[in-house]
């Protein structure tokens, strides 16, 4: 046994040493040195002593498990699990980033990457091209939406994840990547040699006019170039027409860099205006961020669209505009993330993203909804009750509340989804049918609409693909039947359930009739996007976008706009 243990110890030595170094970097440098140099408050000695004691305990447990556990264990994997377990006691935004995650974070912070210009996704278990970026190698050389990737650099894509393919397609600018694809309507696979290029991350994915004099910007993220992208979009709008009002769309924008949020706000408010402030645990942690340039649009009416997908930097922007009475907020309540993260490099291939403070809008309110730091005995995260939400005032004395994200000045509920459309999207049936149409039609008219014949073709397509789904009512009836069987109900109950099932089945055959408008709209946008591109699909969505239409109506009605942003709200 001693010889076996000796061999195991030698085999372990290299990995163990490497992992201990990583542990030291994370534990000693980040925690201990951070305490020694930064946390200079009363009681520091006691905190330092406890930290050192528990670091020793952690190290002993780790060493004992790695050396003495009954089965061989991976020291690095055990260490990562320990780090993840520690961080899970905090909040979901404090995370350890490995090499892959650090690369993605680098993409956000630099605002660019080297790739071939494709967006991919998994469709029927096959890596499929969802869209291509205009002006880059994939689009220029003929890659199309719907192409199924068979090989990449001679390696079969079968069994690869989207992350695997993405990593293969990215690399050093100027290098090449060979891709073999399968395309509907083509008898044989097609091979492309694509050139990697430096590609800027698109922050503004659409800009244009949605009504006479009303400009529209869709801002989807806050990477390093977000402020400059907004600046360029405003310049283009001015060149194309007379910009009398503007709508900024932040829906489904998860956020990004705080300084880019300040940069965006600076384009619309007077110079040296407070945009956001942050404050952490340390006494010297408070920072105030002000707009730092003359605004490009400081007087035109403005509306901002938000929803539950608008978070972090999006909420900094929306909160600043609301508190400064600079824009009318339209849509639904935002996500409610008011925590600030700082990224620290732990090693060459890893980083720690850690929550270091909270941010506050110009009125002084925090929009953080979930309280990760005061959980119930069961570890459940709490939400501040309405009775404890504090009141703040905007520049024009309007009442706003803290603790629940950004509440719109004009609430416009999102259109309720139906199970049929959800399943059509989840199973990529809309996408596949659009590809099918694209293989038959190379162009469509500018006023393209889905007519009855296309809808019939779509129904036939679904039958060919054996599309099946279960409506919510069917699920509920199954649950009712199971409950009745459990309770041993009599025959009459089952007869009633049978009648309900039959009625639901008959109604299900009318699903396309019941959701005719929604299905036609979804198909129309999918087909336009497939044949004319993403920007054309976005533009085509405007007429059915109720939230956008309300925003446009508000900024065009000067008296209503002024009334919504002024006055004393009790």
Where helices occur in 346-451 by DSSP H, the ranges are 419-426, 429-440
State residue 102's pLDDT score.
Answer: 65
Q: Which of 323, 402, 409, 534 is catalytic?
A: 323
Which of helix, strand or coil describes residue 55?
helix
The two tokens of residue 379 are: 């570890």
**Pairing verdict, β 112-115 and 95-97:** unpaired
562 is catalytic: no
Q: Which of 131, 291, 312, 521 is catalytic?
A: 312
- d(C-alpha 120, C-alpha 532), whole Å: 18
180 is catalytic: no
Q: What is the per-residue pLDDT across 443-468, written as a single tens digit (0 to 9) for each?
A: 888 889 999 999 999 999 999 999 99
- d(C-alpha 308, C-alpha 407), whole Å: 10
Give the torsion through C-alpha atoms of 29, 30, 33, 34, to 10 deg.
170
The separation between CA 325 and the C-alpha centre of its own chain, rounded to angstroms, equals 27
Q: What is the 3-state secondary structure (H, E, C) of 255-266?
A: CECHHHHHHHHH
CATH domain 112-200 topology: Pdz3 Domain (2.30.42)
State residue 141's pLDDT score.
Answer: 84
Q: What is the per-residue pLDDT across 319-343, written as a single tens digit (0 to 9) for each?
A: 999 999 999 999 999 999 999 988 8
Of the candidates 156, 126, 152, 124, the one whose C-alpha atom is nearest the C-alpha of residue 138 is 152
Burial tier of 557 (Cβ tally within 10 Å: 0-12, 13-18, 19+): middle
Phi, psi of 89 (to 5 degrees): -80, -5
- d(C-alpha 35, C-alpha 28), whole Å: 10
Burial tier of 179 (Cβ tally within 10 Å: 0-12, 13-18, 19+): buried
CATH 3.90.226.10 for domain 204-411: yes
State residue 2's pLDDT score.
Answer: 41
Whether 316 and 367 have beta carbons less than 8 Å apart is answered as: no
State residue 100's pLDDT score.
Answer: 64
State residue 427's pLDDT score.
Answer: 83
- d(C-alpha 168, C-alpha 114), whole Å: 11
- Which positions of the chain have pLDDT values less than 50? 1-42, 569-570
Q: Which of 267, 337, 384, 432 is catalytic?
A: 337
242 is catalytic: no
CB proximity list for 87: less than 8 A, separation 6 or greater: 94, 95, 96
Of the candidates 217, 229, 221, the one whose C-alpha atom is nearest the C-alpha of residue 253 is 221
| Chain position carrying tokens 């029927």 | 124
Give the other-Cβ count within 10 Å of 93's Cβ.
Answer: 15
DSSP 219: E
Provide, for the chain, the percentages of residues in helix, strand and coil under a 3-state DSSP scheme, each rounded to the nearest 5.
Answer: 45, 20, 35
State residue 343's pLDDT score.
Answer: 83
- d(C-alpha 151, C-alpha 190), whole Å: 10
Whether 330 and 254 have beta carbons less than 8 Å apart is answered as: no
Distances (CA, A) of 70 to 64, 141, 545: 11, 56, 61
């Amino acid at each position: 046994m001693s010889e076996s243990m000796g061999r195991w110890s030698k085999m372990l030595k290299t990995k163990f040493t490497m992992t201990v170094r990583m542990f030291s970097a994370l534990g000693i440098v980040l925690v201990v040195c951070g305490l020694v140099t930064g946390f200079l408050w009363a009681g520091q000695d006691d905190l330092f002593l406890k930290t050192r004691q528990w670091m020793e305990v952690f190290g002993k447990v780790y060493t004992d498990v790695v050396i003495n556990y009954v089965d061989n264990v991976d020291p690095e994997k055990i260490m990562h699990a320990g780090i993840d377990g520690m961080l899970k006691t905090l909040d979901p935004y404090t995370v350890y980033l490995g090499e892959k995650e650090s690369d993605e974070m680098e993409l956000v912070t630099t605002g660019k990457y080297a790739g071939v210009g494709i967006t991919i996704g998994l469709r029927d278990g096959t890596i499929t091209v969802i869209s291509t970026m205009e002006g880059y190698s994939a689009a220029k050389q003929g890659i199309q939406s719907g192409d199924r990737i068979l090989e990449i650099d001679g390696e079969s894509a079968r069994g690869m994840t989207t992350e695997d393919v993405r990593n293969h397609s990215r690399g050093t600018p100027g290098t090449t990547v060979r891709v073999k694809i399968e395309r509907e309507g083509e008898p044989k696979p097609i091979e492309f040699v694509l050139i990697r290029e430096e590609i800027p991350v698109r922050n503004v994915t659409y800009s244009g006019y949605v009504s006479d004099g009303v400009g529209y910007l869709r801002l989807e993220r806050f990477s390093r170039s977000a402020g400059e992208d907004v600046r360029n979009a405003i310049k283009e709008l001015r060149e194309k027409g007379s910009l009398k009002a503007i709508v900024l769309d932040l829906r489904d924008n998860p956020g990004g860099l705080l300084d880019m949020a300040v940069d965006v706000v600076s384009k619309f408010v007077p110079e040296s205006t407070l945009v956001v402030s942050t404050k952490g645990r340390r006494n010297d942690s408070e920072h105030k961020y002000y707009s730092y340039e003359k605004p490009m649009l400081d007087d035109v009416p403005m509306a901002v669209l938000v929803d539950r997908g608008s978070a972090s930097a999006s909420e900094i922007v929306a909160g600043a505009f609301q508190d400064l009475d600079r824009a009318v907020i339209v849509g639904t309540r935002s996500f409610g993330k008011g925590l600030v993260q700082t990224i620290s490099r732990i090693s060459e291939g890893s980083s720690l993203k850690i929550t270091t403070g909270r941010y506050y809008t110009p009125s002084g309110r925090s929009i953080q909804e979930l309280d990760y730091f005061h959980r119930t005995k069961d570890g459940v995260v709490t939400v501040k009750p309405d009775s404890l939400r504090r009141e703040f005032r905007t520049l024009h004395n309007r009442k706003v509340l803290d603790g629940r994200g950004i509440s719109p000045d004009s609430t416009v509920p999102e259109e309720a989804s139906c199970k049929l459309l959800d399943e059509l999207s989840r199973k990529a049936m809309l996408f596949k049918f659009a590809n099918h149409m694209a293989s038959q039609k190379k162009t469509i008219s500018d006023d393209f609409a889905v007519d009855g014949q296309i809808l019939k073709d779509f129904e036939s397509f679904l039958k060919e693909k054996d599309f099946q789904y279960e409506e919510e009512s069917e699920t509920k009836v199954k649950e009712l039947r199971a409950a009745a069987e459990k309770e041993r109900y009599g025959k009459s109950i089952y007869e009633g359930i049978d009648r309900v099932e039959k009625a639901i089945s008959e109604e299900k055959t009318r699903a396309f009739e019941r959701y005719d408008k929604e299905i036609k709209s979804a198909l129309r946008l999918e087909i336009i996007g497939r044949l004319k591109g993403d920007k054309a699909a976005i533009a085509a969505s405007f007429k059915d976008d109720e939230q956008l239409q309300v925003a446009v109506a508000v900024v065009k009605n000067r008296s209503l706009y002024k009334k919504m942003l002024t006055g004393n709200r009790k």
